[in-house]
């Protein structure tokens, strides 16, 4: 898991520094909410609390690069006090659909990405990490030029191995979080 965190940290520090001279809309966000497992993984994990943070850097006029990390804790179904921590490390692109105007304080964007979901199960000898894809969106209520309230529903799909105890070939987890975004 730590090797992925290093990648995300390096990426999130280098990309903004490289593009800072070219752009004026670098943003960071911090969020909290719930992580909801669906489909086959509901046999293993229940919904639980989550939090996350992200970095956004414009790529020209219409696209932006984004790096997000989300961390959810789920009770294991029929597992007593056992938990599974699902850590999401996703990089991708976003497309703004609605921008704030003088008449409306709302911003809306959609995003696609890929990365890693790491499953850390209490008592397991190792963390299980799998390739994952992501789709989601962000809804912002703009408070000022630099600060927005943020709602971020995301859908992450990990391509898991049934030999590791999963009941299907995919694990779908939906981090649904709210927080704040700050633009620089």
Here the tokens at position 170 are 């995919």
For the chain, which domains are there?
2-183 (2.40.160.20)
pLDDT tens profile 4-63 = 555 555 555 544 444 443 335 899 999 999 999 998 788 788 999 999 999 999 998 889
CB count, 10 Å around CB of 93? Answer: 13
- Residue the block writes with tokens 């490289």: 18
Contact (Cβ atoms closer than 8 angstroms) between residue 147 and residue 180: yes
pLDDT tens profile 105-132 = 999 999 999 999 999 988 888 999 999 9
pLDDT tens profile 67-83 = 999 999 999 888 778 89
- Residue the block writes with tokens 């919904």: 47
Q: Tell me how far apart the alpha carbons of residues 55 and 29 are, in angstroms, rounded to a whole number.
A: 7
pTM, entire model: 0.83
């Amino acid at each position: 898991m730590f090797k992925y965190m290093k990648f995300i940290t390096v990426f999130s520090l280098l990309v903004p520094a490289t593009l800072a001279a070219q752009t004026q809309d670098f943003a960071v966000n911090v969020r909290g909410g719930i992580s909801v497992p669906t489909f086959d993984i509901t046999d293993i994990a229940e919904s639980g609390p989550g939090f996350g943070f992200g970095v956004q850097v414009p790529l020209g006029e219409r696209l932006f690069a984004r790096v997000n990390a989300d961390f959810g804790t789920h009770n294991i179904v029929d597992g007593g006090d056992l938990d599974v921590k699902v850590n999401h490390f996703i990089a991708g692109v976003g497309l703004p659909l609605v921008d704030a105007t003088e008449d409306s304080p709302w911003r809306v964007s959609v995003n696609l990405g890929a990365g890693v979901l790491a499953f850390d199960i209490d008592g397991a000898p190792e963390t299980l990490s799998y390739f994952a894809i992501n789709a989601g969106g962000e809804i912002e209520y703009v408070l000022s030029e630099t600060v927005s309230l943020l709602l971020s529903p995301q859908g992450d799909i990990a391509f898991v191995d049934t030999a590791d105890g999963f009941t299907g070939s995919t694990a779908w987890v939906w981090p649904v979080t709210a927080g704040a975004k700050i633009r620089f």
